[in-house]
Chain A
Amino acid sequence: MNPLREHQLMLTRRHLFGRAATGIGTAALGSLLAPQAQAAKGLPGFPNFAPKAKRVIYLHQSGAPSQMDLFDYKPGLTKRFAEELPDSIRMGQRLTGMTSAQKKFPVAPSVYKFAQHGQGGAWFSELLPHTAKIADDICVVRSLFTEAINHDPAITFIQTGSQVAGRPCFGSWVSYGLGCDTDDLPAFVVMISRGTGRKVDQPLYDRLWGSGFLPTAYQGVKFRSEGDPVLYLSNPPGIDTQKRRSMLDDIRQLNEINEKQFGDPEIVTRIRQYEMSYRMQTSVPELTDLSKEPASTFDLYGPDSRKPGTYAANCVLARRLAERGVRFIQLYHMGWDHHEGVPRQLPPQCMDTDQASAALITDLKQRGMLDDTLIVWGGEFGRTVYCQGNLSPENYGRDHHPRCFSVWMAGGGIKGGVSYGQTDDYSYNITENPVHVHDMNATLMHCLGVDHTKLTYRYQGRDFRLTDVHGTVVKELLA
């Protein structure tokens, strides 16, 4: 319950009913009263100030990529191979149950070569050649940290601001606050792909795109690569568009009769939802049909982009969704949880994502959309410098590490070519400019023109928000 919003809705209704008598038809009523229409408009007063970004593409790498094998270059570790992680670094911090019983915590240096790229001189490992090429468009944050140490609570935390289930996710907050720029598609779309580096990996959960205590209308709509792209989208076999239209006409006429008798605006809302569902039956297949994309698109995003359901194909869809006014586009790529065999599992993950992620930036840029699209790439926590399991010069595993990890952001409102934050020589503790998950989320909200302390929802007597009672905008990341 948001009393402010309810009140506004009530006022709107009152106002309209007052005028309905003087001739505004039910159709107009519907368009103003429907929650979907409300969703399309967002909350009054939002954005709070001129936004830099109008939409978000959030590329979540599920399982947690290893920061010191990709972004957080630690050349000094090579000569410390297999040395015990000093207590002065570990400082008795808690470990997961998977390694807390290990007798040794030997340092496992990355086997990958690093080089500096772009004007900003950001470091990238050789596993990210394409990302390296867009170095000047992105901002790498190497000092992000989180509170959870296991996947489920950590991914729930970064997406909802709480480790415990039940809060709305980022995308739901944004679509609740800002609405949508399209009448034919949902405000918040989710797409999922599997990694090739570790095929049996962390699962995902519907709650990650759930609306928590916000109205159900704000939950993410999952687009699938098999079956209906949106659940129940297709007419059943034996009902074509013509028959569907005639059925919808029957439904509308009968609903209108009932509305005349009962006068409940909910009926008008219902009529509107049926019309929107009909439009989605056209707009969604048009959106997901990549056959009209030119060859140059697939060249840019890489060969995987021709295979539906891959991360690369989802990146192409993300751009198409962005073009059509979808507010929040969330990708999940699975397969990053490398407790063992990092050198065997990490390269395929990078192959899955590197080219397509970079292509998305390049593509948006060439279409003039990078300036008002915010892109985020990263996982739910980092990985340990010490080896989990057996260590050899060519092989090592890494456990979960919440104390520092790296993500990158780009586009609307974000300063490109910047590397922000420092970790110690072991990529274990943050030594400079720590960024809490709440700070990152506050900063992303800021780019959208939203004061993260103002986007609240009253539930159980309290005004909840994505950043709980925390979060500071990191000004240094802003363009």
Chain B
Amino acid sequence: MMAKATPYLSLLVALLAARPASPAPPVDFGRDVRPILSDRCFSCHGPDESNRKAGLRLDTESGAKSIRGTKTPVIPGDPANSELLHRIAPDNPARRMPPPYSDRKPLSEKEIATLRAWIEQGAKWQSHWSFNAPVRPAEPAVKNAVWVRNPVDRFILARLERENLAPSPETDKARLLRRVTFDLTGLPPTLPELDAFLADRSPDAYNKVVDRLLASPRYGERMAVDWLDAARYADTHGYQTDPAKEMWPWRDWVINAFNRNMPYNQFTVEQLAGDLLPNPTVEQKIATGFQRNHRINSETGSIAEEFHAENLVDRASTVGTVWLGLTVGCARCHDHKYDPIPTREFYSLFAFFNSVDEAGNGGSADGRGNFKPSMKLPSPELEAQVAAKDAELKIARAKLAEIDKALAAKQADWQPTALSYQPKWEILTPANLKADNGVTLKALPDGSILTGGAMPPAAIYELTASTPPGKTLRNITAFRLELIPDPTLPGGGSGRGVDGKGVVTLFEAKVGNRKVDLGRITADFKSEESELNLVVRPAEQLKRGWGLNPETNKPHYAVIETNRMLTAEKDITFRIGSEYEGAQVGRFRISVTDSEFPEVVPDEMALILRQPAAERSTKDADALTKYFVTHPVDRRTANEAVVALEGERRAAENKIPSTMVMSEMAAPRDTFVLMRGAYDKPGDKVTPAVLSFLPPMPADAPRNRLGLANWLVDPANPLTARVTVNRYWQMYFGTGLVKTAEDFGSQGEAPSHPELLDWLATEFVRTGWDVKAMQRLIVTSAAYRQSSVATSAMRERDPENRLIARGPRVRLSAEMIRDQSLSVSGLLSTKMGGVSVKPYQPEGLWEQLSAFPGRKLFERSKGEDLWRRSVYSYWKRTVPPPSLTIFDAPTREACVVRRQMSSTPLQALALLNDEMYIETSRKFAERMLKEGGTTPEERLAWAIRLATARPAADSEVKILVAGLSKRLQQYRSDNASAEKLLSAGESPRDKALDTAELAAYTTSASVILNLDEVITRQ
């Protein structure tokens, strides 16, 4: 059995095998033949013109049936002369197609027989099924009409009757309620909900439940999860350092749209082009975040054009997958091999998204981490705070302007004395001398410090200094660091190196725990190699510093200015670095000043000052003024007030949530075909256009995103409605009617129930794209309500339940598993929306992979935010939450419309040992003890019912009670263990309950939460 047609054909084979031999059934081109041709032939003989071999194409009827030289590939009714059959036959290995080098598998006997039968039966050609608009089929006649609850069932039943199969009986009410509650809200039913449903004997009891669930706000949260996968929604940008962004306003828009039952066509238009609607509302603009959710690479050095192209490919591919069910991205580098999508048309689709006012590598982010275009959310309170700061700023700026008026006169006074001026320095008295690596420090009476002891390659000296008692240091404008020669040092110099060399590599000052913000450094002398960057010194910098060679035996000083004037009520602690090997600092002294002009006048200023004022060039005069104005204390004070207020204003403004949106540039960008998909190899220019094999856009439709969005939801579009209802079907049955939910093209799988798919698609459009109505239709069908119990014979015949002869049995999604345990434990918060939350996860996950060792990155949420629904969990793309990814949640790096479903030991470990599940087990156990009755039997049966909705069997209770008693005994003799177990999680524990008993019930609660049935909808 060969690749492409396998699932369908094998099913067919399986079903056939179960019956006595019958004549070959009529061959259906679309279902049986095209998949074979597509998979084995199209890559060389298909739509991709530039790679087509021998000029032969088999994806069109004329290509297959036209004579070529003396031979014709397909002659209807004449298999003997159809060249195609000769070329695929195994009898001539050298000529056999597909050739061995093509990586395509040869055709099996079965497939050859299918092609032969097709030709014998007249070689009827059809275009690919999904490319023709669905025509609403008549509802088929069925024998067992009493089973039918709605039209869906007619299609399912007709097929079953054709296969001589009967549907399964309806599942019991309890299981049905659990199934539908999960399916529509992502949560299990509560016990009151269960009791109410069981008590309701009215014929429409179930329909009432469905209406209740569809009206629940939990419905929108459940529906949003799948849409968030498709939209590759996350809370970080996703490349390299994976910086944070803010898109939760868009996520909340989605939840809200589902809850308001926004029609799917409107849902589409607003997300792709809300900004282009007339007078768009804030909400409509937020919706356009859909196409800003993709990853953005802001890695230093990344080339903007390269990632702009990647982002557009992502957008075009996502539209292809989500609305069209087409793998359009394949046409990025070459014409699509299977579907009629030339490269040129791919770039025409890509062109719709090319004129957003954005930078390919993000550019600079707003205060919330968002790249432009972004939009602030209306936030009256925060906006008022910003306005208040603006008012304050106005006053502060006016004050500064006032001072500036008097500056010219002040400067004139200063200029003549500038070069001769000597600031007054206050020498600090050192105390608490400390040095590392064996260096000793000694205070001398003049306030200086002499070093001694070991001579390590690097040392840091620490000291605390205070001024003479009773004097507070105010308005410190600078520190002075003197290097003082000493007769005890080599060569009578100021350092301990050869010839008295000493190099300072670091100068740091702290008041209390706060580092003093230090700025300009000047010195009266420095060696040629010196680098006066003693303050800002990233870890990576070479250890250079301030040295005095060749004047090591003369006193010199450096002045380190404060960026903001400092008033130190406490002592100041200094760290002086001497990390230049063989050049230890020998004797030094620290002073402070409040002088307005503390520094050594820089050479370039000295030069200007020496010129007579009248002879200065304008440029020099400006430079001098610019230099001067940073000095006067009153101006500094006023300026610092402005700077501080600006900072406060920014902080207030940065609290206003923002979200990334779409907006068009005034002049659209040109779009070019990118040769082989490379951003730097532009080819022909293209303009926005839709795929030409699909119905055209109306002539008067705008060639922009709005035109595209309207075209996608035009009822004439054969794909959108089919693709969408198929995803809904997949939500309930685990597998879509088209299994390849992401690919409705030539390589996708043919639908198991083509008529049903078309009926649903046309019904969806007919009801005005009513999303809730479509969910109601599916979950109220008899097909959905079947029991999922299956005999081994039936499982053998249809292991994947493609015939729907039984109800769905599907493992819960990652989010449902987590949310269920929160729900049964009573911890679940129903708070909706807002900033994403960070529930429990193992320590160090973000930190291990981060660029910044030692920096704490993950801050766990507190209280209620630990127990929110999983749709609100913070999604860091490069390190997504493991409790969700272990259960197959995708990484949200790219669009996904069909999740994996795996079963692994890591899932067992997570469910058994994750702190969150221990906590929910404890709270579940508390409920068992308080609400579940008085005996272990009652309590455990109560718990089984809460977790599965059905009553517990005696055999189950027996097993649970035996396990509970065993562990209870152990905890009774080891209370410390019980205490430890019960300490997991932040939620308070009910201290009134017996410790050992609660611990034992906690283990049993964990057992129940780990059962296959509990993590499954069955």
What residues of chain A have their CB less than 8 Å away from a CB belonging to chain B?
1, 3-4, 6-7, 10, 13-14, 17-18, 20-21, 34-36, 94, 96-99, 149-153, 164-166, 192, 194, 198-207, 210, 213, 215-217, 221, 224, 226-228, 230-240, 242-244, 246-247, 249-251, 253-255, 257-259, 261-267, 269-271, 273-274, 276-277, 280-281, 340-341, 344-345, 395, 399-400, 453-454, 456, 458, 460-463
* CA gap between A242 and B983 in the complex, in Å: 20
* CA gap between A94 and B888 in the complex, in Å: 39
Residue contact B848 to A250, C-beta cutoff 8 Å = no
Residue contact B844 to A251, C-beta cutoff 8 Å = no
Residue contact B299 to A152, C-beta cutoff 8 Å = yes
Shortest distance between the CB of A233 and any CB in chain B (Å): 6
Determine the chain A residues whose CB is within 8 A of the CB of B321 once the complex forms.
460
CB nearest neighbor in B for A259: B1012
From B793, B909, B953, B982, residue with most partner A Cβ within 10 Å: B909
Determine the chain A residues whose CB is within 8 A of the CB of B288 once the complex forms.
none
Determine the chain A residues whose CB is within 8 A of the CB of B338 once the complex forms.
461
Task: Say yes or no: A280-B6 contact (C-beta < 8 A), given A94-B680, A200-B540.
Answer: no
Determine the chain A residues whose CB is within 8 A of the CB of B1004 once the complex forms.
250
CB nearest neighbor in B for A269: B903
A-B contacts, 15 listed (Cβ < 8 Å) = A34-B903, A35-B904, A97-B302, A150-B302, A165-B894, A166-B894, A203-B878, A206-B849, A206-B879, A210-B891, A231-B842, A243-B970, A254-B956, A280-B905, A461-B745
Determine the chain B residues whose CB is within 8 A of the CB of A242 once the complex forms.
970
CB nearest neighbor in A for B7: A3
Residue contact B301 to A96, C-beta cutoff 8 Å = yes
Shortest distance between the CB of A232 and any CB in chain B (Å): 4
From B793, B844, B853, residue with most partner A Cβ within 10 Å: B853
Shortest distance between the CB of A99 and any CB in chain B (Å): 8
Task: Say yes or no: A232-B902 contact (C-beta < 8 A), given A97-B302, A165-B894.
Answer: no
Task: Say yes or no: A463-B103 contact (C-beta < 8 A), given A231-B906, A237-B983.
Answer: yes
B811 within 8 A of A: yes
From B915, B980, B984, B1003, residue with most partner A Cβ within 10 Å: B1003
Shortest distance between the CB of A195 and any CB in chain B (Å): 10
Task: Say yes or no: A273-B891 contact (C-beta < 8 A), given A205-B849, A231-B910.
Answer: no
What residues of chain B have their CB less than 8 Å away from a CB belonging to chain A?
1-4, 6-7, 10, 14, 103, 238-242, 295, 297, 299-304, 310, 321, 327, 330, 337-338, 361, 539-540, 542, 680, 739-740, 742-743, 745-748, 788-793, 795-796, 799-800, 809, 811, 842-844, 848-853, 877-880, 882, 885-886, 888, 891, 893-894, 900, 902-910, 912-915, 918, 953, 955-956, 959-960, 963, 966-967, 970, 977-984, 999, 1003-1004, 1006-1007, 1010-1013, 1016, 1018
* CA gap between A262 and B1016 in the complex, in Å: 12
User: Which of A21, A236, A261, A345 lies in contact with B918, CB distance below 8 A?
Assistant: A236
* CA gap between A238 and B1001 in the complex, in Å: 13
From A3, A244, A400, residue with most partner B Cβ within 10 Å: A3
Residue contact B963 to A249, C-beta cutoff 8 Å = yes
Residue contact A14 to B330, C-beta cutoff 8 Å = no
User: Which of B891, B912, B913, B915 lies in contact with A207, CB distance below 8 A?
Assistant: B891
Q: Is the interface of B mostly helix, strand, loop or mixed?
A: loop
From B239, B330, B745, B970, residue with most partner A Cβ within 10 Å: B239
Shortest distance between the CB of B898 and any CB in chain A (Å): 9
Shortest distance between the CB of A473 and any CB in chain B (Å): 14
Determine the chain B residues whose CB is within 8 A of the CB of A261 once the complex forms.
789
Shortest distance between the CB of A333 and any CB in chain B (Å): 13
Determine the chain A residues whose CB is within 8 A of the CB of B891 once the complex forms.
165, 206-207, 210
CB nearest neighbor in B for A309: B848
Determine the chain B residues whose CB is within 8 A of the CB of A99 once the complex forms.
301
Residue contact B327 to A461, C-beta cutoff 8 Å = yes
Residue contact B10 to A7, C-beta cutoff 8 Å = yes
Shortest distance between the CB of B190 and any CB in chain A (Å): 22
CB nearest neighbor in A for B1015: A270
* CA gap between A165 and B301 in the complex, in Å: 19
Residue contact B909 to A277, C-beta cutoff 8 Å = yes
User: Which of B795, B799, B903 lies in contact with A35, CB distance below 8 A?
Assistant: B903
Shortest distance between the CB of B912 and any CB in chain A (Å): 7
Task: Say yes or no: A20-B792 contact (C-beta < 8 A), given A10-B10, A216-B902.
Answer: yes
Determine the chain A residues whose CB is within 8 A of the CB of B915 once the complex forms.
236
Determine the chain B residues whose CB is within 8 A of the CB of A226 once the complex forms.
843-844, 848
CB nearest neighbor in A for B964: A250
Residue contact A151 to B303, C-beta cutoff 8 Å = no
Residue contact A255 to B1011, C-beta cutoff 8 Å = yes
* CA gap between A246 and B1006 in the complex, in Å: 12
Shortest distance between the CB of A103 and any CB in chain B (Å): 17
Shortest distance between the CB of B548 and any CB in chain A (Å): 22
Task: Say yes or no: A3-B303 contact (C-beta < 8 A), given A203-B849, A221-B906, A461-B338.
Answer: no
CB nearest neighbor in B for A7: B6
Residue contact B909 to A199, C-beta cutoff 8 Å = no
From B885, B984, B1007, residue with most partner A Cβ within 10 Å: B1007
Determine the chain B residues whose CB is within 8 A of the CB of A153 once the complex forms.
297
Residue contact B956 to A247, C-beta cutoff 8 Å = no
Task: Say yes or no: A462-B540 contact (C-beta < 8 A), given A203-B850, A238-B981, A255-B1011.
Answer: no
User: Which of A213, A231, A266 lies in contact with B1012, CB distance below 8 A?
Assistant: A266
Residue contact A165 to B295, C-beta cutoff 8 Å = yes
Residue contact A246 to B966, C-beta cutoff 8 Å = yes
Determine the chain B residues whose CB is within 8 A of the CB of A18 once the complex forms.
796
Q: A264-B788, A266-B903, A462-B747 are in contact. List 11 more A-B contacts (CB 8 A).
A: A21-B792, A94-B303, A94-B680, A237-B981, A237-B983, A238-B980, A247-B1007, A277-B906, A280-B905, A460-B327, A461-B745
